[in-house]
Chains A and B, each alone.
Chain A
Amino acid sequence: QKEVEQDPGPLSVPEGAIVSLNCTYSNSAFQYFMWYRQYSRKGPELLMYTYSSGNKEDGRFTAQVDKSSKYISLFIRDSQPSDSATYLCAVGGSNYKLTFGKGTLLTVNP
């Protein structure tokens, strides 16, 4: 079993839709949970970071972690064409390393 599983999509939605992106992880030792956004031909950039179960909101973005189910989600409200990118989930423990999902390609159509 992979340490982090992420549906690669692709996912195509109309502008204004609510987007839900999800990952599952297998190791309960993971303590940190992140979402990165990667535009085409660019490096990943940190979007959201959390270390506890529950929700964390930042503008149109909400990160949700359920440690009991080993499930992490990213919700995008009122999606915009500028949100079109690949979204990578990442989990980390205490060993300096992150484990990344394979990424979900999102396209928001005007």
Chain B
Amino acid sequence: NAGVTQTPKFQVLKTGQSMTLQCAQDMNHNSMYWYRQDPGMGLRLIYYSASEGTTDKGEVPNGYNVSRLNKREFSLRLESAAPSQTSVYFCATKTSGGTDTQYFGPGTRLTVL
């Protein structure tokens, strides 16, 4: 089992370009999350999907959109990238019920020039 996978691993964009970060999980978890991690800021929640068919804003949603394509996949889209979106992006998943533990992917390092 791969767990949580993210593509791409690295990306460089120019200001104004768009891109989609992909996340897939084979853990059969219901909930999926997108975070960004910046030096000195910790992990901040961008969007989450408590279950297939639902999405909700997190702490820092501006400039991003998400799609919960199916139970396995949750994508994050930057429509018009800005230098302030330079960050490391992590996808995470959680099963419903039981513990609240989240399982993270390896991350995507994004640089916006």
Contacts and interface: CB of A to CB of B under 8 A. Distances in A.
B42 A101 contact: yes
A32 B99 contact: yes
Interface residues of B, number: 22
B42 A42 contact: no
Contact of B42 (A41, A51, A100): A100
B102 interface: yes
* Interface bracket on A: 20 to 34
B100 A103 contact: no
Given A34-B101, A43-B90, A44-B90, A96 B43 contact: no
Given A41-B107, A88-B42, A97-B45, 7 more contacts: A6-B42, A32-B100, A34-B100, A43-B105, A96-B100, A97-B48, A103-B42
